[in-house]
Amino acid sequence: MKRPVTIKSALTKDEIIQGLLKVGVMPGMTLEVHGSLSSFGFVIGGAQSVVDALLEVLGPEGTLLMPLHMGLNSEPSSWYNPSIEIELIDKVREAIPPFDKMASEAYGMGALVDNLRRRDGVVTSSHPNVAFIAKGKYANLLCNHQSLHFPLSSESPVARLYEIKGFCLLLGVDFDRCTSMHLSEYATDCRSIVVKGSCVIQGGKKVWKKYLDLDLNSDEFLIPGRALESLGKVIKGKIGSCQVKFFSINDAVDEATRYFETKQGYELYR
């Protein structure tokens, strides 16, 4: 029999607000957030308190942006974590439900994304695999258009975020979760072009829609991220047991672009 777990510390919404202010989050900012609720320890009110704290600090002139990626709405033969047995691929592809902004499963995106998604006034972008959600002053600007092809490039919420000089907040996660840094992969010749697919409703019928993208890989974002830290462009802090990193989206994308420019392996696409 396992011993009962005892809560030895508890984090309030007000303590989260103070922690956000301490690292530099301010009213009126446009903020991309990636976070792990469990990294905080015990939060009174759970994800609701964290999202409430973010929205209260940003205020009515601010905007909160999070990725709402539908990893399960993708070509099952390309799955790798988890992968799928070959004999199940056709069955899974046939049964995958089409993209629905309200109902589609945001597999693995976490409790903070799930909580923000349910809020009144949240705007959801249209991509069936790599959608975004936003709430606040610039929510419509960020999410009103996202290209089906190359969905994290120039016609995407992260491109608009870069244009308006937004910021990124990492809550208990590292630079490899910073979606905006994918802009640097599109700006350089470091990735090959691939064909992807998602299930959508078209003409009232369920269809598989193919689209072009790059073979994106966020694992390498850790390298320009560490460079950003060494340059003093990342403010670090701690909220409860959560390690926090706060920085400019433009600084992060520009640093990652410089890094990927040294790794151009696809000159033929120029």
Q: Assign 3-state DSSP to the chain and report helix, strand, coil percentages, each to 5.
A: 35, 25, 40
* Residue 211: HSE in the Cβ half-sphere, 13 Å Cα cutoff: 21
Chain centroid to Cα 78, Å, comes to 20
* pLDDT by residue, tens only, the chain of 270 residues: 677 788 888 999 999 999 999 999 999 999 999 999 999 999 999 999 999 999 999 999 999 999 999 988 998 888 887 888 999 999 998 999 999 888 888 888 999 999 999 999 999 999 999 999 999 999 999 999 999 999 999 999 999 999 999 999 999 999 999 999 999 999 998 999 999 999 999 988 999 999 999 999 999 999 999 999 999 999 999 999 999 999 999 999 999 999 999 876 554 444
Say how far apart CA 147 and CA 14 lie, in whole Å: 39
Residue 8's pLDDT is 82
pLDDT at res. 267 = 47
For the record, the structure tokens of 109 come out as: 């995106």
Would residue 117 be called left, alpha or beta, if left means φ above 0 and alpha means ψ between -120 and 50 degrees?
alpha
**SS3 call for 257:** helix
Q: Torsion angle of alpha carbons 55, 57, 61, 65, nearest 10°?
A: -50
Q: What is the pLDDT of residue 264?
A: 62
pLDDT of residue 1: 66
